[in-house]
């Protein structure tokens, strides 16, 4: 009976140690990468906010393309619409301090899911503030999130992201990452079909 009692403190100590290690591994900030796993919604312009610069994603008009290119574009669009993963048109983009790699884009009903990772290329810590990611579709609609968390990456560190945005079928979409003092990182994810989107 005494043997079972002496095991309990060791089990409790082990659990506390494991929780402490998890806390240290996350930098003592539970959910600190919450920003990188959020849903985005259309964001109307605030009163007095300047209108974004004109922006147009490339569009594809299938009848004007060579037959083999038509087949490739149609196959990629079919795969996306059936829920399969497709590569982003711009899979990797970087600024002086960050590299964004989009590993796949997938449609889940009305939602487009975008997965990838951000890597810190700088010699110092890279802070990714809440709301650093945004999207813009081929109709000019901006999509944002009002996240409360951010990410802090040490030199050479990377973190995954899993972002979802409501996007009508046939519309093109660009991912933007805005980091203070750097120009925005822009990546075209999917191309607009001229017959379906403005």
Q: Which structure tokens are listed for 148?
A: 């409360």
In a domain, 15, yes or no: yes
Q: 97 pLDDT exceeds 90? A: yes
**Would you give the distance in Å from CA 153 to the centre of its chain?**
16
- Mean pLDDT score, 41-56: 58
- Do 188 and 158 share a structural domain? yes
The tens digit of pLDDT for each residue in 100-154 reads: 999 999 999 889 999 999 999 999 999 998 888 999 988 888 898 766 567 899 9
Q: Are residues 21 and 79 in the same domain?
A: no
For the chain, the domain total comes to 2
On average, the pLDDT of the chain sits at 75
What's the CATH code of the domain at 82? 2.60.40.10
9/66 same-domain check: no
Q: Do residues 20 and 90 share a domain?
A: no
Domain that holds residue 4: 1-30
Max CA distance (Å), the chain: 83
Q: What is the pLDDT of residue 169?
A: 85
Long-range contacts of 105-111 (CB under 8 A, 24+ apart): 105/80, 105/189, 105/190, 106/80, 107/80, 107/81, 107/83, 107/169, 108/83, 108/164, 110/166, 110/167, 111/39, 111/164, 111/165, 111/166, 111/167
Q: Are 167 and 67 in contact (CB under 8 A)?
A: no
Nearest CA to 150 among 132, 163, 123?
132
pLDDT tens-digit series, residues 159-190: 999 999 999 888 889 999 999 888 899 999 99
pTM of the model: 0.69
26 and 37 co-located in one domain: no
Is the residue at 161 inside a domain?
A: yes
- Whether residue 136 contacts residue 143, with contact meaning beta carbons closer than 8 Å, is answered with yes
């Amino acid at each position: 009976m005494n043997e079972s009692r002496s095991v309990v403190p060791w089990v409790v100590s082990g659990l506390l140690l494991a929780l402490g290690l998890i806390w240290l591994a996350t930098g003592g900030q539970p959910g600190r990468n919450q920003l990188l796993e959020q849903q985005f919604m259309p964001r109307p312009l605030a009163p007095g906010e300047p209108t974004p610069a004109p922006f147009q994603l490339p569009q594809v008009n299938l009848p004007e393309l060579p037959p083999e290119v038509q087949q490739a574009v149609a196959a990629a669009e079919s795969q996306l619409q059936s829920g399969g993963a497709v590569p982003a048109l711009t899979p990797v983009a970087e600024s002086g301090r960050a590299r964004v790699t989009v590993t796949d884009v997938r449609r889940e009903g009305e939602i487009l899911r975008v997965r990838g990772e951000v890597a810190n290329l700088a010699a110092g810590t890279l802070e990714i503030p809440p709301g650093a990611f945004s999207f813009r579709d081929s109709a000019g609609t901006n999509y944002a999130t009002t996240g409360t968390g951010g990410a802090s990456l040490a030199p050479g560190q990377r973190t995954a992201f899993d972002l979802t945005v409501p996007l009508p079928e046939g519309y093109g979409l660009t991912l933007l990452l805005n980091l203070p003092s750097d120009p925005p990182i822009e990546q075209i994810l999917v191309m607009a079909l001229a017959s379906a989107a403005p």
